[in-house]
Amino acid sequence: MSNLNQPNVGEDFIRFHRIITRGLEVGIRNTNEFLKRGSIEEQKREGFLNYVEAFSSFLDGHHKVENQQLFPYFKPLIPDVPYLQLMKEHKVVDSSLKEINSGLNSLRSKRDVISSLKKLQSGFKKINQIWHPHIQIEETQLFQKVGSLDINRDEMIRIQKKFSDFFQKKAGPAYLLVPFALYNSSPEDRAILAQGFPETVTQQLVPIDWKDKWTSMQPFFLK
Protein backbone atom coordinates (compact mmCIF):
# COMPACT_ATOMS: atom_id res chain seq x y z
CA MET A 1 0.00 0.00 0.00
CA SER A 2 0.98 3.63 -0.31
CA ASN A 3 2.02 5.75 2.63
CA LEU A 4 -1.20 5.65 4.64
CA ASN A 5 -1.11 9.43 5.15
CA GLN A 6 -1.15 9.95 1.39
CA PRO A 7 -2.79 6.89 -0.20
CA ASN A 8 -2.21 6.51 -3.93
CA VAL A 9 -3.18 3.36 -5.83
CA GLY A 10 -0.95 4.37 -8.73
CA GLU A 11 2.12 4.39 -6.50
CA ASP A 12 1.04 1.04 -5.07
CA PHE A 13 1.05 -0.58 -8.49
CA ILE A 14 4.39 0.95 -9.48
CA ARG A 15 5.76 -0.55 -6.27
CA PHE A 16 4.26 -3.93 -7.19
CA HIS A 17 5.99 -3.67 -10.56
CA ARG A 18 9.33 -3.30 -8.80
CA ILE A 19 8.62 -6.46 -6.80
CA ILE A 20 7.75 -8.41 -9.96
CA THR A 21 10.72 -7.01 -11.88
CA ARG A 22 13.15 -8.20 -9.22
CA GLY A 23 11.40 -11.58 -9.04
CA LEU A 24 11.76 -11.94 -12.80
CA GLU A 25 15.46 -11.05 -12.67
CA VAL A 26 16.13 -13.50 -9.83
CA GLY A 27 14.18 -16.24 -11.60
CA ILE A 28 16.06 -15.78 -14.88
CA ARG A 29 19.49 -15.57 -13.26
CA ASN A 30 19.10 -18.66 -11.11
CA THR A 31 17.40 -20.75 -13.79
CA ASN A 32 20.27 -20.01 -16.16
CA GLU A 33 22.83 -20.88 -13.48
CA PHE A 34 21.13 -24.19 -12.67
CA LEU A 35 20.98 -25.08 -16.37
CA LYS A 36 24.70 -24.42 -16.75
CA ARG A 37 25.39 -26.76 -13.82
CA GLY A 38 22.86 -29.30 -15.05
CA SER A 39 21.15 -29.46 -11.66
CA ILE A 40 19.70 -27.47 -8.78
CA GLU A 41 21.84 -27.37 -5.66
CA GLU A 42 19.99 -29.38 -3.04
CA GLN A 43 20.31 -26.66 -0.38
CA LYS A 44 18.65 -24.17 -2.76
CA ARG A 45 16.02 -26.45 -4.24
CA GLU A 46 13.08 -25.88 -1.89
CA GLY A 47 13.73 -22.14 -1.68
CA PHE A 48 13.98 -21.74 -5.43
CA LEU A 49 10.79 -23.69 -6.10
CA ASN A 50 8.90 -21.69 -3.46
CA TYR A 51 10.29 -18.46 -4.90
CA VAL A 52 9.16 -19.32 -8.42
CA GLU A 53 5.73 -20.36 -7.11
CA ALA A 54 5.39 -17.05 -5.27
CA PHE A 55 6.52 -15.07 -8.33
CA SER A 56 4.01 -16.84 -10.58
CA SER A 57 1.11 -16.43 -8.17
CA PHE A 58 1.94 -12.79 -7.43
CA LEU A 59 2.15 -11.85 -11.11
CA ASP A 60 -1.01 -13.79 -11.98
CA GLY A 61 -2.95 -12.12 -9.17
CA HIS A 62 -1.54 -8.72 -10.12
CA HIS A 63 -2.82 -9.03 -13.68
CA LYS A 64 -6.22 -10.28 -12.55
CA VAL A 65 -6.60 -7.19 -10.35
CA GLU A 66 -5.62 -4.94 -13.25
CA ASN A 67 -7.94 -6.63 -15.76
CA GLN A 68 -10.99 -7.05 -13.57
CA GLN A 69 -10.77 -4.20 -11.07
CA LEU A 70 -8.26 -1.45 -11.78
CA PHE A 71 -8.70 -0.96 -15.54
CA PRO A 72 -12.52 -0.81 -15.36
CA TYR A 73 -12.31 1.71 -12.50
CA PHE A 74 -9.84 4.07 -14.18
CA LYS A 75 -10.96 3.79 -17.80
CA PRO A 76 -13.68 6.48 -17.45
CA LEU A 77 -11.23 8.73 -15.58
CA ILE A 78 -8.16 8.19 -17.80
CA PRO A 79 -9.57 7.00 -21.15
CA ASP A 80 -6.49 7.58 -23.34
CA VAL A 81 -4.70 4.42 -22.23
CA PRO A 82 -4.35 1.39 -24.56
CA TYR A 83 -6.27 -0.87 -22.19
CA LEU A 84 -7.00 -3.52 -24.84
CA GLN A 85 -3.33 -3.73 -25.78
CA LEU A 86 -2.36 -4.09 -22.13
CA MET A 87 -4.90 -6.88 -21.62
CA LYS A 88 -3.65 -8.69 -24.73
CA GLU A 89 -0.14 -8.49 -23.35
CA HIS A 90 -1.43 -9.91 -20.07
CA LYS A 91 -2.59 -12.96 -22.03
CA VAL A 92 0.94 -13.44 -23.35
CA VAL A 93 2.26 -13.30 -19.79
CA ASP A 94 -0.46 -15.70 -18.61
CA SER A 95 0.56 -18.22 -21.27
CA SER A 96 4.19 -17.90 -20.18
CA LEU A 97 3.22 -18.43 -16.54
CA LYS A 98 1.51 -21.67 -17.52
CA GLU A 99 4.81 -22.81 -19.03
CA ILE A 100 6.64 -21.82 -15.85
CA ASN A 101 4.07 -23.61 -13.69
CA SER A 102 4.39 -26.75 -15.82
CA GLY A 103 8.15 -26.75 -15.31
CA LEU A 104 7.69 -26.04 -11.61
CA ASN A 105 5.30 -28.97 -11.17
CA SER A 106 7.78 -31.26 -12.92
CA LEU A 107 10.58 -30.08 -10.67
CA ARG A 108 8.47 -30.70 -7.57
CA SER A 109 7.83 -34.22 -8.86
CA LYS A 110 11.59 -34.58 -9.44
CA ARG A 111 11.07 -35.45 -13.09
CA ASP A 112 13.57 -34.49 -15.84
CA VAL A 113 15.36 -31.54 -14.24
CA ILE A 114 16.91 -30.16 -17.43
CA SER A 115 13.66 -30.28 -19.39
CA SER A 116 11.80 -28.69 -16.48
CA LEU A 117 14.35 -25.90 -16.10
CA LYS A 118 14.14 -25.22 -19.82
CA LYS A 119 10.40 -24.68 -19.44
CA LEU A 120 11.12 -22.15 -16.70
CA GLN A 121 13.78 -20.51 -18.84
CA SER A 122 11.44 -20.25 -21.82
CA GLY A 123 8.57 -18.84 -19.76
CA PHE A 124 10.78 -16.30 -18.00
CA LYS A 125 12.32 -15.23 -21.32
CA LYS A 126 8.92 -14.61 -22.92
CA ILE A 127 7.78 -12.52 -19.96
CA ASN A 128 11.04 -10.58 -19.94
CA GLN A 129 10.65 -9.71 -23.62
CA ILE A 130 7.34 -7.97 -23.00
CA TRP A 131 7.58 -6.87 -19.37
CA HIS A 132 9.55 -3.61 -19.46
CA PRO A 133 7.74 -1.90 -22.37
CA HIS A 134 4.46 -3.15 -20.89
CA ILE A 135 4.96 -1.60 -17.47
CA GLN A 136 6.33 1.59 -19.01
CA ILE A 137 2.96 2.13 -20.69
CA GLU A 138 1.04 1.33 -17.50
CA GLU A 139 3.19 3.56 -15.34
CA THR A 140 3.58 6.60 -17.61
CA GLN A 141 0.10 6.64 -19.11
CA LEU A 142 -1.92 5.47 -16.10
CA PHE A 143 -0.34 5.02 -12.68
CA GLN A 144 1.67 8.25 -12.62
CA LYS A 145 -1.51 10.19 -13.39
CA VAL A 146 -3.60 8.78 -10.54
CA GLY A 147 -2.33 11.32 -8.01
CA SER A 148 -3.62 14.22 -10.09
CA LEU A 149 -7.17 12.85 -10.30
CA ASP A 150 -9.98 14.25 -8.20
CA ILE A 151 -10.19 11.24 -5.91
CA ASN A 152 -10.57 12.02 -2.22
CA ARG A 153 -8.67 10.19 0.49
CA ASP A 154 -11.59 8.04 1.65
CA GLU A 155 -12.28 6.87 -1.90
CA MET A 156 -8.60 6.10 -2.49
CA ILE A 157 -8.51 4.01 0.68
CA ARG A 158 -11.72 2.24 -0.38
CA ILE A 159 -10.33 1.17 -3.75
CA GLN A 160 -7.00 0.20 -2.18
CA LYS A 161 -8.87 -2.20 0.08
CA LYS A 162 -11.08 -3.42 -2.74
CA PHE A 163 -8.08 -4.20 -4.96
CA SER A 164 -6.18 -5.78 -2.06
CA ASP A 165 -9.10 -8.02 -1.07
CA PHE A 166 -9.54 -9.11 -4.68
CA PHE A 167 -5.83 -9.95 -4.98
CA GLN A 168 -5.94 -12.03 -1.82
CA LYS A 169 -8.83 -14.07 -3.24
CA LYS A 170 -7.00 -14.72 -6.53
CA ALA A 171 -3.43 -15.30 -5.33
CA GLY A 172 -1.80 -17.37 -2.64
CA PRO A 173 -0.63 -18.88 -0.42
CA ALA A 174 -0.21 -15.82 1.81
CA TYR A 175 2.65 -17.42 3.76
CA LEU A 176 4.75 -17.27 0.58
CA LEU A 177 3.34 -14.14 -1.08
CA VAL A 178 3.64 -11.74 1.84
CA PRO A 179 7.35 -12.47 2.47
CA PHE A 180 7.92 -12.46 -1.32
CA ALA A 181 6.45 -8.96 -1.54
CA LEU A 182 8.24 -7.60 1.53
CA TYR A 183 11.69 -9.02 0.87
CA ASN A 184 11.80 -8.35 -2.85
CA SER A 185 11.30 -4.69 -1.94
CA SER A 186 13.85 -2.06 -1.04
CA PRO A 187 13.88 -1.04 2.65
CA GLU A 188 11.94 2.11 1.73
CA ASP A 189 9.27 0.24 -0.23
CA ARG A 190 9.16 -2.49 2.43
CA ALA A 191 8.36 0.03 5.15
CA ILE A 192 5.47 1.42 3.10
CA LEU A 193 4.15 -2.05 2.23
CA ALA A 194 4.29 -3.09 5.88
CA GLN A 195 2.00 -0.18 6.80
CA GLY A 196 -0.74 -1.77 4.74
CA PHE A 197 -0.70 -5.07 6.66
CA PRO A 198 -2.29 -5.66 10.06
CA GLU A 199 0.30 -5.78 12.83
CA THR A 200 -0.48 -9.45 13.38
CA VAL A 201 0.88 -10.17 9.88
CA THR A 202 4.18 -8.30 10.20
CA GLN A 203 4.82 -9.00 13.89
CA GLN A 204 3.41 -12.49 14.39
CA LEU A 205 2.64 -14.39 11.17
CA VAL A 206 5.64 -13.52 8.98
CA PRO A 207 8.42 -13.64 11.61
CA ILE A 208 7.02 -16.50 13.73
CA ASP A 209 4.04 -18.57 12.55
CA TRP A 210 4.91 -18.64 8.84
CA LYS A 211 8.70 -18.52 9.07
CA ASP A 212 9.29 -22.25 8.60
CA LYS A 213 7.23 -22.11 5.40
CA TRP A 214 9.04 -19.22 3.71
CA THR A 215 12.52 -19.14 5.23
CA SER A 216 13.93 -21.37 2.46
CA MET A 217 13.46 -18.40 0.09
CA GLN A 218 15.81 -16.16 2.08
CA PRO A 219 18.86 -16.73 -0.17
CA PHE A 220 16.90 -15.16 -3.03
CA PHE A 221 15.65 -12.13 -1.08
CA LEU A 222 17.05 -8.66 -0.51
CA LYS A 223 18.54 -8.08 2.93
Reported as a single tens digit per residue, the pLDDT across 135-170 is: 999 999 999 999 999 999 999 999 999 999 999 999
Number of domains in the chain: 1
Full-model pTM: 0.95
| Residue 4 within a domain | no
Find all residues with CB under 8 Å of 43, minimum gap 6, and list them: none
Find all residues with CB under 8 Å of 99, minimum gap 6, and list them: 119, 120, 122, 123, 126
| Residue 159 within a domain | yes
| Residue 156 within a domain | yes
4 pLDDT tier (thresholds 50, 70, 90): low
| Residue 3 within a domain | no
Q: Percent of the chain beyond pLDDT 70?
A: 98
Q: At what angle do helices 113-141 and 83-108 cross, to 10 degrees?
A: 160
pLDDT at 22: 98
Phi and psi for 150 in degrees, rounded to 5?
Answer: -85, 70
For residue 113, the enclosing domain spans: 9-220
CA 141, CA 192: separation in Å to the nearest integer? 23
CA 211, CA 214: separation in Å to the nearest integer? 5
Assign residue 108 the CATH number of its domain: 1.20.120
pLDDT at 223: 86
| Residue 42 within a domain | yes
| Residue 134 within a domain | yes
| Residue 85 within a domain | yes
What is the enclosing helix (H) or strand (E) of 72?
helix 71-74
| Residue 1 within a domain | no
Reported as a single tens digit per residue, the pLDDT across 32-73 is: 999 999 999 999 999 999 999 999 999 999 999 999 999 999
